[in-house]
A = this chain, B = another copy of it.
Amino acid sequence: MSGTTDVSRADATRARLLEAATGAFAEKGFHGTTTRDIATLAGMSPAALYVHHKSKEELLYLISRTGHERTLALVEAAAASSEDPVEALRRLVHDFAADHAVTHTGARIVNYELAALSPEHFAEIRAIRQRIDRALGDVVERGLATGAFDTPDPRMAGVALLSLGIDIARWYRDDGSWSPQDIGARYAEMALRIVGAG
């Protein structure tokens, strides 16, 4: 009982530190954030960070890996959600865009702080990104194969679709007038126009 309590308390502290790091990295970038910033945001002393994590870079890696894995799961689920390429792509772009809006702080780190990762961590993350690209590319190819899509350069269209979603992390603000669901729905329609479905 008490053991369990201790473990969950430690986990909560780790999570607080990760949340603090996410906010700070998203706002000021990895190199613009100090370990004191993170500790202060989490309401702890600078040394507490090192009780729970090996280094500042490890915090970045954990945030980046978690975010990438969530996105990969979301994209693969959407790709497999329907036999119909139109419906699969609609859901993929909808969920991808809405997720980038909801988790825009994390998504900012995921997409714009890759260069601050260690070479080993970067290699691991890059592999996940390639799986995301492939899942999207497969849906586009399915649509071309069935004749549902019509685009002169499918690979470039795929890059553009990803850009649309990723860039949301750059411009989205919580106090804006568009909800993540609005954005997801509109972006899904734009995506279908881009690939010539309709």
Contact = CB atoms under 8 A, between A and B. Distances in A.
Interface stretch (A9-17, A24-32, A54-62): A24-32
A189 B150 CA distance: 12
A196 B152 CA distance: 17
A140 interface: no
Contacts of A152: 186, 189
A103 to B, nearest CB: 17
Interface stretch (A43-51, A68-76, A82-90, A165-173): A165-173
A116 interface: yes
Q: How many copies does the complex hold?
A: 2
Interface of A: 27-32, 111-112, 115-116, 152-153, 156-157, 159-160, 163-164, 166-168, 170-171, 178, 182-183, 186-187, 189-190, 193-194, 196
A164 B163 CA distance: 6
A94 to B, nearest CB: 14
A60 to B, nearest CB: 12
A168 B170 CA distance: 13
B167 A163 contact: yes
Contact of A111 (B27, B168, B170, B178): B170
25 contacts: A27-B115, A28-B31, A29-B29, A29-B30, A29-B31, A29-B32, A31-B32, A32-B116, A111-B170, A112-B170, A152-B186, A153-B186, A156-B182, A156-B186, A156-B187, A159-B171, A160-B187, A160-B190, A163-B167, A163-B168, A163-B170, A164-B167, A166-B170, A167-B167, A193-B193
